[in-house]
Amino acid sequence: MKPKKEKISITLDPELKEELHRMAEEEQRSLSQFINIALSEWVQNAKKNIRMKR
């Protein structure tokens, strides 16, 4: 069973929120799902970049 996800509050620029919402709709995902996936991918890429710099 997947662990329960935690809720957080963030503040976004209106233009960014609208762009994220549009992109989420294109992928037929909720805004929350889309942001979760995008952040997970960003973190994985950032970790790779940090390892490469060492």
- Written as tens digits, the pLDDT of the chain (54 aa) is 777 889 999 999 999 999 999 999 999 999 999 999 999 999 999 998 888 777
- Rounded to an integer, what distance in angstroms lies between the CA atom of residue 45 and that of residue 39? 10
Q: What pLDDT is stored for residue 1 in this prediction?
A: 77
Looking at residue 51, its pLDDT comes to 81
Which structure tokens are listed for 48? 């790779």
Positive/negative CA dihedral, 24, 28, 31, 35: negative
Q: What is the pLDDT of residue 37?
A: 97
pTM over 0.85: no
- pLDDT attached to residue 3: 78
Cα separation of the two ends of the chain: 36
